Amino acid sequence: MSAPLFEKIALVGIGLIGSSLARVIRRERLAGEIAIATRSPATLARAEELGLGDSYSTEAATAVANADLVIVSVPVGSSGAVAAEIAPALKPGAIVTDVGSTKRSVIAQMQPLLPGNVHFIPGHPLAGTEKSGPDAGFADLFENRWCIFTPLPDTDPQALERLSEFWRRCGANIDTMDADHHDMVLAIVSHLPHIIAYNIVGTADDLETVTKSEVIKYSASGFRDFTRLAASDPTMWRDVCLHNKDAILEMLARFSEDLASLQRAIRWGDGEKLFDMFTRTRAVRRSIIDAGQEIDVPDFGRQVVEHPGAVMPAAKS
């Protein structure tokens, strides 16, 4: 049997991403030893019950000692605190990476605190679900998803290749770009959609003329599609909003401009403009399906009641 890719991997944070990593690292034998750290004793106990690692600690510094690869999977607002905590304990030559949804801010928080003798390679696997916590993870989470690196000017190519190989063996495809561009891309493909989803669910929740129970009963006619994103982890998304402010405000401004224009077309009964707009957006979905980033099942296949793992209570009135 070949040697594992890393002797020891430390996972700092064991939520959806961290626990998915633990599972795929084990399945693919990517580490001789998995050390898990999280500040919450309850979460740590659960990770241990699930048997996700080989050692467990509430101290990140303990977990990273002697680790060849350290993966920080915490809300981006905690990146700086984690860097401060692990810096003195890092093994020289170790690779330190993260999975945060914003990159400029993570770099600004972590880089100044990390020692010069480790390889800090900011990363972001574009994978997730609306669930959170160590129970939510699964080994296939990264399969055919993208992992984006935003290397620093002095990033060692060999370390980058080693980390890329790690993520490929987790199932991911690799891309690299600079941090500014990453933050702009993610603002449109991920941050704006989540903010809009949170907002519309909030708007519906506040109405006086339509009751909450009506919103829920009739949600299958469209509203429901937004609630998945709006059920995502609040701490993670608060931090994303606070740490990718500029790009998010830019995308929000564009979105609101476009919406004002659409609203005007509705007010003035401009059917041609509405038709044109509603036509061109169809092609985008087709491309996403062709790129393997979506399944071509109507209504996401929700009608398939025998869906593996589906919980579909009978709610006939």
Segment 287-306, which members bind a copy of itself (CB under 8 A)? 287-306
What are the two backbone dihedrals, phi and then psi, of residue 32, each rounded to the nearest 5 degrees?
-70, -30
Rounded to whole angstroms, the Cα distance separating 165 from 159 reads: 10
Q: Does 317 bind a copy of itself (CB under 8 A)?
A: yes
Q: Which residues within the stretch 211-230 sit at the binding site for a copy of itself (CB under 8 A)? A: 212, 214-230
Using CB under 8 A as the binding criterion, the count of chain residues that bind a copy of itself stands at 132
CA 121 from centroid of its chain's CA atoms:
17
Sites for a copy of itself among residues 19-48 (CB under 8 A):
none
Q: Which of 258, 265, 132 is nearest to 196 (CA)?
A: 258
Binds a copy of itself (CB under 8 A): choice among 49, 143, 161, 165:
143
Q: Whole-number minimum distance, CB 201 to a copy of itself, in Å? A: 4
Regarding 167 and contact with a copy of itself (CB under 8 A), the answer is no
Cβ proximity to a copy of itself, 117 vs 165, nearer residue: 165
Contact 168, 142 (CB under 8 A): no
Distance set, CA 168 to CA 28, 55, 265, 289 (Å):
11, 25, 47, 22
If binding is defined by CB under 8 A, does position 140 make contact with a copy of itself? yes
173 binds a copy of itself (CB under 8 A): yes
Of 2, 6, 24, nearest to 170 by C-alpha is: 24
> Which of 57-65, 88-96, 114-122, 246-254 is the region at the interface with a copy of itself (rule: CB under 8 A)?
246-254
Query: Which positions from 95 to 134 touch a copy of itself by CB under 8 A, shown as an x/- string?
Result: ------x------------------------xxxxxx---
Distance CA 240, CA 200 (A): 19
